[in-house]
Amino acid sequence: MTVTIFIPRDSGALALGADKVAQKVEAIIRERGLDARIVRNGSRGMYWLEPLVEVETPRGRVAYGPVKPSDVAALFDSGLLEGGVHALSLGLTEELPFLARQTRLTFARCGITDPVSLEDYRRLGGLAGLEAALAMNPADIVAQVTESGLRGRGGAGFPTGIKWKTVLDTASPQKYIVCNADEGDSGTFADRMIMEGDPFVLIEGMVIAGIAVEATKGYVYIRSEYPHAIAVMNEAIAVARAAGVLGAAVLGSNRAFDMEVRVGAGAYVCGEETALLESLEGRRGIVRAKPPLPAHKGLFGRPTVINNVISLASVPIILDKGAAFYKNFGMGRSRGTIPLQIAGNVKHGGLFEAAFGLTLGEIVEDIGGGTASGRPVKAVQVGGPLGAYFPVSLFDTPFDYEAFAARDGLIGHAGLVVFDDSVDMLKQARFAMEFCAVESCGKCTPCRIGSTRGVEVVDRLAANVEPEKQIEVLTDLCNTMKFGSLCALGGFTPYPVMSALTHFPDDFRPAPLAVAAE
């Protein structure tokens, strides 16, 4: 029987040499005339083990990693095809603690299948949600999504069902589904992973959204920094179209839906939904004032559902298993699961999907294994460049929208970047302001001017010029930006700045000179 060897095509694995490993494996299969084939799957999300090579055996999938091209011959000599023992053996993939502890709902298939095989997708439960949706009327689909408690996974946490209902209730000859795949936040890669590892789940989610709100056209706006995600999505859309998942008659029904990929052009602010719509329309990515909401007047002035990748990719399982199943996971008003992305200076970096409610400390120390450098953790930035820096003293904060808000933070897109004690928090605060200045769309004054003034104030602070006054000015400036900016770019830049200032005051007050100036 032909043995299947899995070698990921996820860009994280590629960045660590997966293609070279695959070439080597292929060469050995050919040279030794072995009965084996290679499947290029998505990533399991354990990046410290990438490239992770798996072999299908009667006992289950056996994992090896991280594999270098130079290890490949020895792996075959140790009986790779039978799951033989080698120094890189990790045992059965499913039993690896990092995976076994997860609740994979949205990422159920990611890393398991060939991302562009619709047969694999169907075999592992794909399209069941869409089939269920096609048998329902639009209002009932929306009700299911509302009932599930799903909130926008892009960062704002707005209830997805409410957004959909607004679009459904707005009459228009044309409506749109727009997927925000402009995942620009440092520390986040869940959107990239799902698009590269299980693109059909996003396509299915978008089709369901289209049927639910009576929209017939969808766009996935993917950032240009993600060439592999763009390629896989385009490939998957073509397969879905050929198989009738997309088109004039979705799965042979009387509903129509089609979609295409649009590529961003390196503007961070286009991750803001209205700037993204402007960009899709072919304009500068300038934030729009709200109202009107995109749900009323969105893309080309038409009612538009604009959701993050993970929000849309979570919809199929809700329709398949029911709202109650999904809602059963989580805590408080944060229902379901969240794909945590553990990144930066961390030993076990990767994607960990779990119900809401783990504490920050559990995530960083227990799951992430502490820092990669082995030094003590100093700060964890949660929620991307606009998220707050949390000190170790707040490690008891549960991962939940409200709990983070209560401690002046946000969970954002659920990315966590770990820093060891070598980090200078004043420098991080300066970077936050500098980044805002570079990426500001320029429409509102607090963001456009405030960010530049912010950099200057932090620089004066670093030079120890009247530090107490600078701190007062910086605090006031942050307050203005927070409440006066049009969107989250200017409005949330104060989170990293103020959290750095509040939790790490020593970094902002250089040691006084030994002899005070007279």
Residue 180 pairs in a beta bridge with 221, 308
Count CB neighbours of 31 within 10 A.
10
Residue 60 structure tokens: 């289950």
Do you find a cis peptide bond into 138, omega within 30 degrees of 0? no
**Which residue has 């959290």 as its token pair?**
499
Beta carbons of 355 and 103 less than 8 angstroms apart = yes
CB of 424 to other proteins, least distance (A): 10
Nearer to other proteins, 268 or 329 (CB): 268
Residue 356 region by backbone torsions, left for phi larger than 0, else alpha for psi between -120 and 50, else beta? beta
C-alpha span between 237 and 162 (Å, rounded): 28
Q: What amino acid is encoded at 313 in this protein?
A: A
CB of 67 to other proteins, least distance (A): 14
Instruction: State the minimum distance, in angstroms, from the CB of residue 302 to other proteins.
Output: 10
CA distance 234 to 212: 24
Please say which residue, 42 or 264, places its beta carbon nearer to other proteins. Answer: 264
Nearer to other proteins, 15 or 289 (CB): 15
Report whether 305 contacts 215 (CB < 8 A). yes
The C-alpha atoms of residue 276 and residue 143 are separated, in whole angstroms, by 27
Helix (H, G, I), strand (E, B) or coil at 503: helix
How many other C-beta atoms lie within 10 A of the C-beta of residue 290?
13
Both tokens assigned to 9: 């095509």
CB nearer to other proteins: pick between 145 and 309:
309
Of 229 and 433, the one with the shorter C-beta distance to other proteins is 229
| Of 423 and 457, CB closest to other proteins | 423
- Give the ranges where 62-198 is alpha helix by DSSP (H): 72-77, 97-100, 118-123, 128-134, 138-148, 160-169, 190-197
Contact 191, 181 (CB under 8 A): yes
Point out which residues bind other proteins (CB under 8 A): 11-12, 14-16, 47-48, 50, 183-189, 191-192, 224-229, 262-268, 279-285, 300, 341-346, 349-351, 372, 381, 385, 415, 417-420, 423, 428, 431, 435, 439
Q: Which is nearer to other proteins, 228 or 460 (CB)?
A: 228
Q: Residue 290 Cβ, how far from other proteins at the closest point, in Å?
A: 20
The CB-of-43 to other proteins minimum distance in angstroms stands at 10
Closest approach, Cβ 36 to other proteins, in A, equals: 27
Find the shortest distance in angstroms from Cβ 77 to other proteins.
27
**In this structure, which amino acid lies at residue 27?**
A
Question: Closer to other proteins at the Cβ: 245 or 386?
Answer: 386
Cβ proximity of 206 and 222 under 8 Å: no
- Whichever of 212 and 377 has its CB closer to other proteins, that residue is 377
Residue with Cβ nearer other proteins (36 or 377): 377
CB of 44 to other proteins, least distance (A): 12
Query: Cα–Cα distance between 177 and 406 in angstroms, integer?
Result: 33
Query: DSSP letter string over 249-299?
Result: SGGGSS--BEEEEEE--S-GGGGSHHHHHHHHTTS--PPPPSSSPTTTS-G
Residue among 320 and 439 whose Cβ is closer to other proteins: 439
- For the record, the structure tokens of 287 come out as 């934030």
Helix (H) or strand (E) run with residue 391 in it: strand 389-391
Report which residue type is found at 351.
Answer: L
Nearer to other proteins, 359 or 373 (CB): 373
Minimum CB separation from other proteins for residue 11, in Å? Answer: 5
Rounded to the nearest whole angstrom, what is the least distance from the CB of residue 322 to other proteins in the complex? Answer: 32
Token pair 């500068």: residue: 284
In the chain, helix, strand, coil percent, each to 5? 45, 15, 35
